[in-house]
Structures are given as C-alpha cells and as structure tokens.
Chains A and B, each alone.
Chain A
Amino acid sequence: MEREFLAAYDANTDALFRHCLARVRDRELAKDIVQETFTKTWTYLADGKRILYLRAFLYRTLNNCIVDVMRKKRSVSLDAMAEEEGFEPEGEADTPAEVREEMGEAAELLSELDDMYASVVAMRFIDEMRPSEIARVLDVSENVVSVRLHRGIRELRKLWEARRNTFDAGATGDATDKMP
C-alpha cells in the first residue's frame, strides 16, 4: 500500500500544487497544504478505510484544507486591515501596473473569490477537468457545477472590475492634473 500511495503521490503532487497555488497565491503555503492533503489521505487509508477514486478524494481533501487555511488567513488579514491605515489590495505592488496583464490580475483574484466558486473555477481552468469530473470530486450534480462555474466567472469579473476602479482611482489621485 505504501508503494501505491507514493506512486499516487508522484502522479498527483504537481496538479494539486498548481490548483492550490492558484487558490492561495502563496507558494510555501500551497506546498504545506498539499503535504497536509497527502498526510490526511494516508491517515485515512492507514486506518483501514477504503478510497474508491483516489484522485477525487485527494481533490476533495485539498479543497477542505484550502477552505480551512483561507478562513484563518482571512480573519487574520481582516484584523490586520482594520488596524492598518490606507489599506491597499495586496499584490505584486512593485510591478508596474502597465506590465501587469489584465488577465493575470483577474487570475490572482481567485484567492479572494468565495471558496465554493474558486474551487470550481480552479478545477475547470487550472486542472482542466471536465464538468462531470468536477461534479464527482465535489459530490454534486453537473448542473450545480455549471451554475457555480458561471457565477464564479461572474464574481471574478466583478472583483476584477472593482479592483480596477480602486486602482484607477488611486492612479488618478496621484496625477490629477493629467486627467481631464
């Protein structure tokens, strides 16, 4: 069983890491979460429980771990936000705005999207899973998947627009004289 599990580890680590990184936007944190996913899965197996579809199980576990971590992270960052003045949306602030591609920004907002939507969007566009697969991983119907995907995209778009507006407002504030 150990050998099989390690083979499964080799086969899935990269994909899980990619998914996780897209969701949490923090390389070290993503690595930790992936490790936690595998140790939890192993513990489950070592207790003599059966797993029918390992890949689906791994994604489900990963998703739970991400949700846990993000919940903690958000509460912390909200506290910090309240204390700090002049909060600005986090991101690669030193990268010039022009260099950042609009699209890339939208992808980064995935970490701010509701987990329910973020998981579906990441599975669809990062892991390139079919809706039927996502449905199996999340144990919901395909209809639910497509609804969440649709809403997720809409929310992401909203977040992105909101962020652009803040950004533009900041930019115009700095250079008011240039604006008509």
Chain B
Amino acid sequence: MNYNHEQFENIFAHDRKAALSEREREIMKDEVRLFIVKHPVRPSFYESLFARLQNVHAGLSIESVTGPRLHPVLAGLLIVFVGAGTSYAAENALPGDALYAVKTLVNEPVRAALAVTSEAKVKLNVALAERRLEEAGTLATEGRLTADTREQIEAKLDKHVKVVEARTSALAEVESALAFALDTQTTLEAALKAHESALGELAEMRPEIRELPLILRAVALQLESLARVRSASERIVARGDLNRVREFAADKRREVEAEIAKGSGESAQVARVAKGSTEDAAVMMMSAFAPADTALISEEATTTEEKIDPVIEALNTGVQKFDAGEYGEAFSDFQKAFRTVQEEKIKSSVRARLKLEGQAPAAALPFLYDEEDSEKSHEDTFDSESDEKKR
C-alpha cells in the first residue's frame, strides 16, 4: 500500500478541523435540554416501592414497632418483605438519601439481630461506627454534609461506640475474652483516630465545609472516652498473673512485628530482629518498615520517616521494658505501637477514598482518557510518543 499512516493523517487533516458553530451548538444543546426535561429519570422500582411502604407505615418506624431489639424471625421476614434488592441497594445509601432509612432501620438492625454472640455484636458495632465516619467523609467531599446529616451521623456514631464500650468492658472482666475486648477497643480507637486525622486534613483543605470541624469535635470526644475504657482494660491485663502478662506482651509484640513486616517482604529479617538487641532492632525495623510504609502512605520519604518514629519508638521502649521484666508497661507500649500501625493503615485507605493526595477531585464522569492514563502500558506510551513526533 502506498498510503502510510502519516499520509492518512494528512488526508483527514481538514475533517479534523470541522466544528459546530456557536449558534448550532446552542440550538442543539437546548434541544437536548428539552428532551431531558421531557424524559425525567424514572425512580427505580425498589425506590418507588419503598416510598409506598413508607406511606403505609407512616409514623411507625421499625424501632417503635419492635422496640430497640429486632427479633431474628422478624428480621428474616423483613428481608423477604422489603425485598433483598432494596436492602442491597440501600447498602451504599448516605444520610439524606431515600434508601438511607432502609440501611439503618432495616439492614443494620437485621445484621444486629443475626449477630447473636456478644463478640459478634461488638464487631458489628465497630464496623458500623467506621461506616458512619466513612459516610461523613463521602458526604463532606460531595458537599452534602449538612447540620441535619451531621447530627444523624453523630448520634449513630455515639450509639455504636457506646455499645462497643459497654460490651467490651464487660467482656474484659472475663479472662478468656480479655484479649478480644482489648483488641476490639484498640481497633476502634485506631479507626476513629485514622478517620479523625484524614477528616482533619480534609477540613484544612476545604474550610468551606462548615460541618466538618463539628464532626471532628464529636469524634475527639468519642476518642477520649474510648481511650479511658481501653486503658482500664490494659490495667486489668497488667494486674493479672505475671506469666500471663508476659504472654500478653509477647503476643502483642509479635503482632506489631508482623504488621511491620507485612507487605515489606522482609519478615525473615524482622523475625531475627525479635531475637536481636534493641539497637539492631531499631535500625532493622526502619529498613523493614520503610518500603511497606511508603507503599501504604505513598508520601515522600521524609514524611514517611516522621510517621515511622512513633511505632519504632514505642516498640523499642516496649522491648527495653520487656527485657527488664516490666511486662505490664511493655504491653502498653506494644499496644501503642500496634494502634499506630493500624491507624496508619486505615488512614491511608481513608485518604485514598477521600482523594486526599493534594490532587484536584476527579471528574464527575469517568471518560475514556482519565482511566486510560492509569493503565497505560509501555507500548501505549511509546505509541503516543511516536504519534506526537509525527505531528
């Protein structure tokens, strides 16, 4: 063939310049606008069904009918009645959405009713507390965080945290459940802290979201009370039999080290560190932790180092105290290190979700090019480069 691609570029050069006139474009857009008005978005089947259901039960919320606790049988019936589809569709609803009531008055009570043991209920409430904060973040980024939605979130968050606190404090009194209670408290605390700090960043970046500082204050209060409950549990551990405390401390230390090693692919090295001296531990931890942390937080090395410090520091202090036989204190230090690691992990995912990397928010609709950029292969890159050269 005589035509190569470059010649074809020329053939169509004229066609590439074709454009609509300003007037043509305006007329066409008006037509489309008119069409949109005439053909409004139809509410989905489940949405309209739910709207009807709400009317039928006007004034009778599920909680007022059944009391705060939903009977499992009724829970099952509700699923059938309301329809699994609505229930599923409601999972991603936010305060202010039509389906949010399904999510918090049907889905979540159903899950609570199905969570029979105290442990399951606690775990569920930890997850739900996190969920409320995720909702807050999403609403804030979408500009939908109003006084109303904020109050809903705060009230529900308070309820979930209270449940976790009450149940874990009770569980902490039982020897066999103590570790679980403490772990759960630690997890929730780390999650709240992670959300607090990510939302704090968002509040700084976008001071126009007025409700955000108020949510942050509410989270800070929850954190205070949670920290009190958690230290009470830690004291229970420290009061126990020395061998038992030693076991607790050693377990927690292993957990911290495992967390640090995770993702860095240098678990062997870390394992050796556990046996080595404290000084070596610090140096090797740094090397083992750095790559994992960079991947997690994806920030510059300097910032990463600042973030490692509290973990390594707490771990080192813990190791020193552990070697000195002060297992109770060592345990609290390992706990602190563990919390910090968890917090960073959750925070990085929250930050990613809130798109907090100093980037402008992504376009509302994903166009071909947006997505292409991220998955551009080397071949494509080469291709586009050579294309540019041709032009």
Q: Are A132 and B372 in contact (CB under 8 A)?
A: yes
User: In the complex, what residues of A have CB within 8 A of residue B364's CB?
Assistant: 4, 7
Q: Are B18 and A17 in contact (CB under 8 A)?
A: yes
A125 and B9 in contact, given A22-B15, A31-B20 (Cβ under 8 angstroms):
yes
Interface segment, one of B33-41, B67-75, B340-348 = B33-41
Q: Mark A132-150, 1 if CB is under 8 A from B, else 0.
A: 1100110000000000000
Q: Are A35 and B14 in contact (CB under 8 A)?
A: no
User: In the complex, what residues of B have CB within 8 A of residue A98's CB?
Assistant: none
Q: Are B29 and A10 in contact (CB under 8 A)?
A: yes
A8-B365, A42-B36 are known; give 4 further A-B pairs, CB within 8 A. Answer: A22-B18, A35-B28, A46-B40, A55-B369
How far does the alpha carbon of A154 sit from the alpha carbon of B4 in the complex, in Å? 10
How far does the alpha carbon of A31 sit from the alpha carbon of B24 in the complex, in Å? 9
Give the number of A-B contacts (CB < 8 Å): 117
Q: Are B1 and A153 in contact (CB under 8 A)?
A: yes
Shortest CB–CB separation between residue A127 and chain B, in angstroms? 8
Select one of B1, B18, B32, B383 contacting A42, CB under 8 A. B32
Q: Mark B366-384, 1 if CB is under 8 A from A, else 0.
A: 1111011000000010011
User: In the complex, what residues of B have CB within 8 A of residue A126's CB?
Assistant: 12, 15-16
User: In the complex, what residues of A have CB within 8 A of residue B369's CB?
Assistant: 55
Name B's A-contacting residues (CB within 8 A): 1-3, 7-12, 14-16, 18-20, 24-25, 28-29, 31-33, 35-36, 39-42, 44, 364-369, 371-372, 380, 383-384, 387
Shortest CB–CB separation between residue B40 and chain A, in angstroms? 7
How far does the alpha carbon of A21 sit from the alpha carbon of B7 in the complex, in Å? 20
Interface of A (DSSP majority class): helix
In the complex, which of the residues A47, A56, A103 has the most CB atoms of chain B within 10 Å of its own CB atom? A103
Select one of B3, B9, B19, B365 contacting A157, CB under 8 A. B3
How far does the alpha carbon of A133 sit from the alpha carbon of B371 in the complex, in Å? 11
Select one of A38, A55, A106, A121 contacting B368, CB under 8 A. A55
Q: Are B28 and A13 in contact (CB under 8 A)?
A: yes
Q: Are B367 and A11 in contact (CB under 8 A)?
A: yes
Q: Are B32 and A53 in contact (CB under 8 A)?
A: no
A175 within 8 Å of B (CB atoms): no
Select one of A17, A39, A128 contacting B19, CB under 8 A. A17
**Chain A, Cβ-Cβ closest to B371:** A53
Shortest CB–CB separation between residue B361 and chain A, in angstroms? 14
The 24 listed contacts between A and B (C-beta, < 8 Å) are: A6-B36, A18-B15, A18-B16, A18-B18, A35-B28, A35-B31, A38-B32, A42-B35, A46-B39, A46-B40, A48-B42, A52-B366, A53-B366, A56-B368, A121-B8, A125-B8, A126-B15, A126-B16, A128-B387, A130-B380, A132-B372, A132-B380, A156-B3, A157-B3
Select one of B14, B28, B31, B384 contacting A104, CB under 8 A. B14
A80 within 8 Å of B (CB atoms): no
**Chain B, Cβ-Cβ closest to A46:** B41
User: In the complex, what residues of B have CB within 8 A of residue A42's CB?
Assistant: 32, 35-36, 39
How far does the alpha carbon of A98 sit from the alpha carbon of B367 in the complex, in Å? 43
Q: Are A107 and B11 in contact (CB under 8 A)?
A: yes
In the complex, which of the residues B8, B12, B16, B367 has the most CB atoms of chain A within 10 Å of its own CB atom? B12
Q: Are B35 and A39 in contact (CB under 8 A)?
A: yes
